């Protein structure tokens, strides 16, 4: 069987030692089988192991092979949909549960890092950057809304304060969240995998789940083995394919691309981002960037609906970087890669249960670094019999993309084009 390895990203090149784990051979039994060793799978595994369950994780490629090992590394709290829209969709009681949880993911990550001594270059502080007065107004109303839910740490920034955080003339202001921040995402996943194993969990790599035989005790088949479990947790997200067709119809894999400069040196790096916060702008198709531990700029942006890999990533992302930081015109790009996240029509996570014993969480449509850690906690709670917070997610309504499998990519791209035109015009 051909081995699937990491993409040639900056993260793979700067990863902590990566143990290679065996593929599943033969038949085994476990309490809970988790499909996918990204943050969703690993966070769920850790919470379950801490509660005494026997856990087996099947990973198609390597730990953190998917979005979790190649993302922008930004710890961005809350959801990809504003809480007032959630209130209008699901009513105040369910919105209250979801709103209360919106900043928990960042706390879980910090607890994990501290408890399991994970070396992943954690830095506190994330900024939302407004490109227009309209976006600044939106940040003001977001801050007021989150304060209603008791999240009072957000701080609005004027143009001059922003200039002290990012060396660009692009922004009219912003909002700082010190409970946000950034990490080396692959090292976080690798550290969590080591924590899973330290508690007796077993992770098989190069072991794709090829089929699921549903029933009282579901059985997952891989190329060389089978796992019989009391419960399954499906955490394959944008890389899952059609393993569960019920889920595939209401979500769409999308690509986003990241470039990493050569090391900039302390002086130039500090001149760009003096506080070392991470930044994402407020556009519908947003740019996000931050410094690495060795003072490179890691800059991401763009969305490819349907997740086809673009031929020349640098040609797409470098102009975006230079728009923010024209001072980097002569800087070399050392790494460029793409990765897939999973979009839902509502941009809210797709969470639930198929039958009594197959649980899933996927499709958070961005802001996934924090959400996936929260998802692990909420899934583990549900498997322990406390489903209130799980149900708050599981009862969110989801709809198929317009156009079906054939037309959903052009239809969604058209919608995104409309929203990004509005961003460009500042309306
Ligand atoms: C380029 C990029 C940049 C991003 N930047 C940010 C950011 O800065 N901040 C933020 O909050 N979010 C960001 N995101 C989103 C975030 O990374 C994801 O939402 C999150 O990592 C999803 O985690 P996951 O565990 O659900 O899925 P993944 O990390 O994709 O993991 C799924 C795993 O399941 C495995 N798998 C799939 N199918 C099977 C199968 N059949 N059998 C076994 N294993 C299987 C895959 O190989 C993969 O390892 C970004 C995403 C991308 C792609």
Q: Is 222 in the pocket of ligand 1 (CB under 6 A)?
A: no
Q: CA of 183: how far to CAs of 5, 51, 100, 109, 189, in Å?
A: 21, 27, 24, 10, 10
The encoded tokens of residue 242 equal 């059609």
Domains identified in the chain, total number: 2
Mean per-residue pLDDT for 406-417? 59
Is residue 55 in a domain? yes
CA of 425 to the centre of ligand 1 (A): 32
Q: Is residue 117 part of a domain?
A: no
Which of 105, 292, 369 to mutate to test ligand 1, by most ligand atoms within 8 A of the CB atom?
369
Average pLDDT, the chain: 93
In a domain, 146, yes or no: yes
Residue 417 in this model has a pLDDT that exceeds 60? no
- Quick check: 41 and 192 in contact, CB under 8 A? no
Residue 367 Cβ inside 6 Å of ligand 1? The answer reads yes
> pLDDT for 360-378, tens place per residue?
999 988 889 999 999 999 9
One domain for residues 205 and 262: no
CATH number at residue 37: 3.50.50.60
Claim to verify: residue 339 and residue 351 sit in the same structural domain = no
* pLDDT surpassing 80 at residue 401: no
- Which pLDDT does position 403 carry in this prediction? 67
Shared domain for 334 and 205, answered yes or no, is: no
Rounded Cα distance between 113 and 181, Å, is 13
Strands (E), 282-354: 288-291, 297-305, 333-343, 350-354
Residues 293 and 373 in one domain: no
Q: How far apart are CA 308 and CA 317, in angstroms?
A: 16
- The Cα-based distances of 396 to 87, 138, 349, 352, 388 in angstroms read 11, 24, 8, 9, 13
- Where residue 310 falls among pLDDT bands split at 50, 70, 90? confident
DSSP states of 185-226 as a string? HHHHHHHHHHHHHHTT-EEESS----EEE-SSS-EEEETTEE
Task: Give the sign of the dihedral formed by CA 130, CA 132, CA 137, CA 141.
Answer: negative
Helix (H, G, I), strand (E, B) or coil at 244: coil
187 close to 16: Cβ distance less than 8 angstroms = yes
Is residue 125 within 8 A of residue 176, CB to CB? The reply is: yes
Give per-residue pLDDT as tens, 198-211: 999 999 999 999 99
Q: Is residue 108 part of a domain?
A: no
Q: What is the C-alpha separation between 50 and 96, in angstroms, rounded?
A: 27
For the Cβ of 171 lying below 6 angstroms from any atom of ligand 1, the answer is no
- Whether 76 maps to a domain, the answer reads no
Q: Is the shortest distance between the CB of 11 and ligand 1 below 6 Å?
A: no
Which tokens sit at 59? 């990973």
Q: Is residue 371 part of a domain?
A: yes
Ligand 1: nearest atom to the Cα of 39:
25
- The domain that holds 414 is classified in CATH as 3.30.9.10
Asked whether the predicted pLDDT for residue 394 surpasses 60, the reply is yes
Q: What is the chain's length?
A: 427
Q: How far is the CA of 294 from the centre of ligand 1 (A)?
A: 24
Contact between 374 and 100 (Cβ < 8 Å): no
Q: Cβ contacts of residue 329 below 8 Å, gap of 6+?
A: 322
Same domain, yes or no, for 211 and 323?
no
> Structure pTM?
0.95
Are residues 127 and 257 located together in one domain of the fold? yes
Tell me, yes or no, whether 178 and 142 share the same domain: yes
Q: Do residues 302 and 368 share a domain? A: no
Note whether residue 339 is domain-resident. Answer: yes
User: pLDDT, tens digit, for every residue of 210-245?
Assistant: 999 999 999 999 999 999 999 999 999 999 999 999
Q: What is the pLDDT of residues 18-41, one digit of tens each?
A: 998 999 999 999 999 999 999 999
The answer to the question of residue 61 being in a domain is yes
Q: Using alpha carbons, select from 235, 197, 223 the residue that is nearest to residue 33.
A: 235
The sign of the dihedral angle between the CA atoms of 56, 59, 65, 67 is: negative
Could you tell me the distance, in angstroms and rounded to a whole number, from the CA of residue 399 to the centre of ligand 1?
A: 22
- Nearest 5°: phi and psi at 305? -65, 135
Q: Are 30 and 9 in contact (CB under 8 A)?
A: no
Cα–Cα distance measured from residue 42 to residue 103, given in angstroms and rounded to the nearest whole number: 19
Q: Give the list of residues 6+ apart from residue 270 with CB closer than 8 angstroms, or none.
A: none
Q: How far is the CA of 363 from the centre of ligand 1 (A)?
A: 9
Q: Is 302 in the pocket of ligand 1 (CB under 6 A)?
A: no
Same domain assignment for residues 267 and 351: no
pLDDT per residue over 97-126, tens digit each? 999 999 999 999 999 999 999 999 999 999
What the block records as the tokens of 56 is: 């087996």
155 and 126 in contact (C-beta within 8 Å)?
no
What's the pLDDT band for 353 if we cut at 50, 70, 90? very high
Domain containing residue 267? 123-182+252-343+403-427
Residue 414's pLDDT band, with cuts at 50, 70 and 90, is low
Contact 76, 372 (CB under 8 A): no
Q: Are residues 239 and 279 in the same domain?
A: no
Beta-sheet strands, E only, within 90-135: 123-130
The secondary structure of residue 40, as a DSSP letter, is H
- CA–CA separation, 426 and 422 (whole Å): 6
Bridge partners of residue 337, in order along the sequence:
258
DSSP designation for 295: S
| pLDDT mean over 325-349 | 95
62 vs 55: CA distance, rounded Å = 17
Helix (H, G, I), strand (E, B) or coil at 180: strand
The angle that helices 185-198 and 39-50 make with each other, rounded to 10 degrees, is 30
Same domain, 47 and 176: no
Query: Are 240 and 291 found together in one domain?
Result: no
């Amino acid at each position: 069987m051909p081995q699937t390895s990491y993409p040639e990203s900056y993260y793979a090149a700067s990863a902590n030692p990566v143990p290679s784990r065996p593929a599943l051979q033969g038949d085994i039994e476990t309490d809970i089988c988790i499909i996918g060793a990204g943050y969703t799978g690993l966070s769920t595994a850790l919470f379950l192991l801490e509660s005494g369950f026997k856990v087996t994780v099947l990973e198609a490629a390597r730990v953190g092979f998917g979005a979790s090992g190649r993302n922008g590394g930004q710890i961005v709290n809350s959801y990809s949909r504003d809480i007032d829209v959630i209130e209008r969709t699901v009513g105040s009681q369910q919105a209250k549960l979801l709103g209360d949880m919106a900043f928990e993911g960042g706390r879980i990550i910090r607890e994990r890092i501290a408890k399991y001594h994970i070396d992943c270059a954690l830095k506190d502080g994330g900024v939302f950057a407004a490109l227009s007065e309209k976006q600044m107004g939106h940040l003001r109303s977001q801050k007021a809304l989150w304060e209603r839910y008791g999240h009072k740490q957000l701080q609005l920034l004027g143009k001059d304060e922003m200039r002290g955080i990012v060396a660009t003339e692009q922004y009219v202001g912003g909002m700082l969240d010190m409970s946000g921040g950034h990490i080396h995402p692959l090292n976080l996943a690798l550290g969590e995998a080591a924590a899973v194993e330290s508690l007796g969990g077993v992770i098989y790599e190069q072991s794709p789940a090829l089929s699921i035989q549903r029933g009282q005790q579901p059985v997952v088949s891989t190329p060389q083995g089978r796992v019989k479990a009391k419960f399954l947790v499906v955490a394959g997200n944008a890389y899952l394919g059609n393993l569960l067709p019920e889920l595939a119809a209401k979500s769409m894999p999308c690509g986003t691309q990241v470039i990493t400069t050569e090391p900039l040196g302390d002086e130039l790096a500090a001149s760009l981002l003096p506080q070392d916060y991470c930044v994402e702008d407020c556009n519908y198709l947003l740019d996000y960037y931050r410094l690495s531990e060795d003072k490179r700029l890691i800059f991401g942006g763009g969305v490819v609906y349907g997740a086809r890999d673009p031929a020349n990533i640098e040609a797409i992302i470098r102009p975006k970087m230079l728009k923010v930081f024209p001072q980097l015109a002569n800087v070399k790009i050392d790494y460029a890669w793409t990765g897939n996240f999973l979009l839902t029509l509502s941009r809210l996570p797709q969470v639930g249960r198929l039958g009594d014993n197959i649980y899933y969480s996927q499709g958070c449509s961005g802001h996934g670094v924090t959400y996936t850690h929260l998802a692990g906690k909420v899934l583990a709670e549900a498997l322990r019999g406390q489903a209130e917070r799980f149900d708050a997610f599981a009862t969110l309504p989801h709809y198929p993309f317009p156009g079906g499998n054939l037309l959903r990519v052009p239809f969604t791209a058209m919608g995104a084009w409309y929203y990004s035109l509005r961003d460009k015009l500042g309306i």
